């Protein structure tokens, strides 16, 4: 198992947390013999990618690209968008930092679920992914 992480932003991101969560996810879903790439980018880059690959001309929090053979795929996360989403739940700095960590983990797991075949284009699929993501995060934190 190899998890490659690239931070293409000027933000300080807890990459060890991201790697640990991704590795635990791969083991939990019996994908530990797969390789994975995770990249953190800004608004401009994610908007470009979203337009190119999904024909949606706006910022999004995450994009997932399924790989082939032993390459599970690539996840691209807009860290600025994650921070904005965490800020919506607001509060003092400590509370914000906890919300940021929670939002980052939730979005990461959401992207990983997409890579192993889950889809949220229907309400039923969205609920299933949310349930699985929350269950994994709860186990991960314990």
Q: What is the CATH number of the domain that holds 95?
A: 3.40.390.30
Output helix, strand, coil percentages for the chain, rounded to the nearest 5.
Answer: 55, 20, 25
Which pLDDT band, with edges at 50, 70 and 90, does 65 fall under? very high
Residues 76 and 68: their CA atoms lie apart, in Å, by: 17
* pLDDT value at 47 more than 60: yes
Which residue segment(s) compose the domain that 74 sits in? 2-141
Q: How far is CA 26 from CA 61, 85, 87, in A?
A: 21, 26, 29
142 burial (CB, 10 Å; 0-12 / 13-18 / 19+) is exposed
7 in helix, strand or coil? strand
Contact, 5 vs 15, CB < 8 A? yes
Count of H-run helices and E-run strands, the chain? 5, 4
Q: How many domains does the chain have?
A: 1
Tell me the pLDDT tens digit for each residue of 66-115: 999 999 999 999 999 999 998 886 655 555 567 889 999 999 999 999 99
């Amino acid at each position: 198992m190899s998890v490659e992480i690239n931070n293409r932003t000027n933000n300080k991101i807890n990459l060890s947390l991201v790697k640990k969560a991704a590795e635990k996810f791969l083991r939990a879903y019996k994908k530990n013999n797969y390789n994975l790439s995770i990249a953190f980018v800004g608004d401009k880059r994610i908007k470009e990618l979203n337009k190119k690959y999904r024909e949606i001309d706006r910022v999004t929090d995450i994009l997932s690209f399924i790989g082939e053979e032993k390459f599970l795929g690539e996840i691209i996360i807009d860290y600025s968008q994650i921070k904005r989403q965490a800020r919506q739940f607001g509060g003092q700095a400590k509370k914000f930092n906890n919300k940021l960590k929670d939002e980052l983990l939730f979005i990461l797991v959401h992207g990983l679920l997409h890579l192993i075949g889950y889809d949220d284009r229907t309400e039923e699929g969205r609920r299933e992914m949310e349930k699985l993501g929350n269950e994994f995060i709860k186990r991960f934190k314990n």
